[in-house]
């Protein structure tokens, strides 16, 4: 353990909160399409006046969907500007006050000072700091709490409970930032949060005939938290990162990778339930064995579901990317199964970006 572990130990991702236009309908989508289970609710009935939130969970992944109830609430204004997207990436810590003070001392900008909230289930300490764009990190200390989610939330127990789809935990969360900002944001994670750079990609790794991007992958000490940071690089056409920045109106979370231990079963279920994924051409699979060597999965099954595969020196991984999950071409999901590989599918970047370019061409934004 190095000193960085001591100043900001993180137990894991606590929750991710999306600000959306219609939380009730979004919650239904995450239940019916992704198989998230209902956990908790807050709104007018619980004494809130400006917002309503639904909390859903699948194994270790907790999502909060929040919508504004009045036009000039901070939630409604955020949603008006950015569309549906990630507002909060909450981190589970043992000491939220310490996490706040250590990061502020190292240059973090405060969003909300430490505060204690209580109900009959105990108490929670939260504190939050700014990261890229209008996105924030909330530190959550919940060791004295045993309620369904956080104080103020009540159990949400609808009869409608579609089966889960085998999603287990958040593998990584990617941020898109503006041209020339990647190093600054990577530096924030290094200096303020004590993260280290796992790997970096530049336009030589990540480019097609038309578009290019650069990326640095920042990880915490035990590598449980992985935040790749992307910025656009000079290309012939508009890159997917620029398209994101144009439609999100600034930096924000681009995708969340959710892990499964049976990607074929998970993807089959998600596709059946209406989640749209990016397509790769059949010829992607013609040289896949040459590229990645022997794998346990049947290539024909991977081809049927258009699941991508890549190898690094520690093993291989299987992955697939959804299309954007809201009207703006901004946030999407990745489904990933790691079989030893610690990397991010560099060998798939070209096929993937060509697939995104086909989508951009359809949208007229390439």
- Residues lying near Fe ion in the complex (CB under 5 A) are found at 257, 334
- Residue with smaller CB distance to Fe ion, 79 or 215: 215
The whole-angstrom separation of Cα 13 and Cα 216 is: 20
Cβ count within 10 A of residue 278: 20
Strand pairing category for 167-176 and 226-233: parallel
The residue written with tokens 């009045």 in the block is 70
Joined tokens for residue 94:
């043992």
223: left (phi over 0), alpha (psi -120 to 50) or beta: left
Distance in Å, CB of 257 to Fe ion, minimum: 4
- In the complex, least distance from residue 320 CB atom to Fe ion, rounded to whole angstroms: 11
Q: Which is nearer to Fe ion, 150 or 280 (CB)?
A: 280
Distant-in-sequence, close-in-space partners of 294: CB < 8 Å, separation ≥ 6: none
State the minimum distance, in angstroms, from the CB of residue 219 to Fe ion: 13
Q: Considering the complex, state which of residue 61 and residue 257 has its C-beta at the smaller distance from Fe ion.
A: 257
Sheet with 196-201, side-by-side order of all strands: 196-201, 212-219, 226-233, 167-176, 252-260, 332-339, 315-321, 308-312
Which CB atom, from 107 or from 340, has the smaller least distance to Fe ion? 340
Find the shortest distance in angstroms from Cβ 345 to Fe ion.
7
Residue spans of beta strands (DSSP E) within 210-307: 212-219, 226-233, 252-260
Smallest distance from the beta carbon of 147 to Fe ion, in angstroms?
32
How near is the Cβ of 245 to Fe ion at its closest, in Å? 18
If the CB atoms of residues 193 and 257 are measured against Fe ion, the closer one turns out to be 257
Q: Which is nearer to Fe ion, 243 or 334 (CB)?
A: 334
What is the chain's alpha carbon radius of gyration, rounded to the nearest angstrom? 20
Cα(first)–Cα(last) distance of the chain, in Å?
Answer: 46
């Amino acid at each position: 353990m190095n000193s960085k572990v001591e100043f900001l130990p993180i137990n894991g991702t606590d929750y991710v909160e999306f600000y959306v236009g219609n939380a009730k309908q979004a919650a239904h989508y995450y239940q019916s399409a992704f198989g998230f289970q209902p956990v908790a609710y807050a709104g007018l009935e619980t004494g809130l006046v400006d917002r309503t939130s639904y909390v859903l969970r699948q194994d270790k992944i907790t999502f909060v969907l929040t919508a504004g109830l009045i036009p000039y609430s901070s939630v409604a204004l955020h949603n008006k500007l950015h569309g549906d997207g990630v507002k909060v990436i909450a981190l589970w810590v043992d000491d939220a006050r310490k996490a706040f003070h250590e990061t502020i001392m190292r240059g973090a900008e405060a969003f909300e000072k430490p505060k204690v909230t209580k109900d009959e289930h105990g108490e929670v300490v939260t504190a939050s700091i700014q990261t890229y764009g209008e996105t924030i990190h909330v530190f959550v200390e919940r060791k004295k709490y045993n309620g369904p989610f956080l104080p103020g939330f009540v159990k949400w127990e609808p009869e409608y409970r579609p089966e889960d789809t085998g999603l287990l935990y958040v593998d990584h969360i990617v941020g898109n930032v503006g041209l020339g900002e990647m190093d600054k944001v990577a530096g924030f994670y290094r200096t303020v949060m004590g993260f280290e750079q796992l790997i970096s990609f530049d336009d030589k790794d990540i480019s097609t005939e038309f578009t290019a991007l650069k990326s640095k992958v920042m990880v915490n000490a035990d590598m449980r938290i992985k935040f790749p940071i992307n910025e656009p690089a000079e290309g012939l056409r508009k890159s997917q990162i620029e398209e994101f920045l144009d439609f999100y109106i600034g930096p924000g979370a681009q995708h969340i990778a959710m892990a499964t231990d049976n990607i074929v079963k998970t993807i089959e279920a998600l596709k059946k339930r209406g989640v749209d994924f990016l397509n790769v051409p059949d010829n992607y699979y013609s040289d896949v064995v040459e590229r990645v060597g022997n794998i346990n999965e049947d290539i024909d099954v991977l081809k049927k579901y258009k699941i991508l595969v890549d190898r690094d020196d520690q093993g291989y991984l299987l992955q697939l990317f959804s299309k954007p999950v809201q009207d703006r071409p901004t946030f999407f999901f990745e489904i990933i199964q790691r079989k030893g590989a610690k990397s991010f599918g560099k060998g798939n970047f070209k096929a993937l970006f060509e697939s995104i370019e086909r989508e951009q061409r359809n949208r007229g934004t390439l």
